[in-house]
Amino acid sequence: MTTVEEVMLWVHVATGFLALAAGAGALATEKGGRRHRRFGRTYVHSMAVVSGTALVLYPLRPGFWRLFLGLVAIFSFYFAFSGYRVLSRKRPADEPTGVDWGAVGLFGVASAGLVAMGGILLRSGNGFAPVLLVFGGIGVVFAGSDLRSFRGETDPGAWVGQHVVRTGAGYIATVSAFSAVNFLFLPPVLRWLWPTLLGTPLLVYFRRKYESRFVPG
């Protein structure tokens, strides 16, 4: 392992732990409060570094699994990023910017890439294929949904549900990566997917809870 690769790996791991802690802090603090916002910003910035270092690591040692991790990094960061960005589009007059369009485009490509790689593994009989297909399928659905909303979102309260679901999904992806590395007692597929299986019903619950609290009427 080269010095650059080793440094990037340590930065990746350190900011990954910071993202886990900051995300937990955002979940635990009063929504809309100062501490919640601070934890949220720290979480998004940490995820940016986590994703950036993962993308730097890929060309240092290219390969199928490094590409998978790079695409998962884009997948994870987009949820955190889009959940944060939606706060700047609370009013119907607030339009998505070029940053939003560029991010969802990259996210869509990465998600399609995960689906394609999952298809390759499925054809070869590799049992890890469901992980790539599930992540990629989720990403394709969300990318399509965001593209449609960018063209004409009319619900002034939509930002609440989008913020909850996207930041929550980003945190699920962060926990998934942590589980994949550390929960070696679990089968590989379950190691990656249990946070999604457990977290999805919770996201539905919290979306309904905070929409009823923050959305007028």
Residues 6+ apart with CB under 8 A from 86: 159, 162, 163, 166
Please count the other Cβ atoms lying within 10 Å of the Cβ belonging to residue 124: 8
Contact yes or no for 140/108 (Cβ under 8 A): yes
Type of residue numbered 215: V
pLDDT digits (tens, 9 = 90+) for 34-90: 999 999 999 999 999 999 988 888 777 778 888 898 899 899 999 999 999 888 877
Q: Is 30 helix (H, G, I), strand (E, B) or coil?
A: coil
Place of tokens 């790539």: 132
- Name the nearest CA neighbour of 51 among 91, 22, 90, 15: 15
Residue spans per domain, the chain: 3-214
167-184 tens-digit pLDDT? 999 999 999 989 998 999
Q: Find which of 82-86, 96-100, 133-137, 180-184 is predicted with most confidence, using mean pLDDT.
A: 133-137
pTM: 0.88
Supply 197's token pair.
């299986």
The first and second tokens of residue 176, run together, are: 């998934």
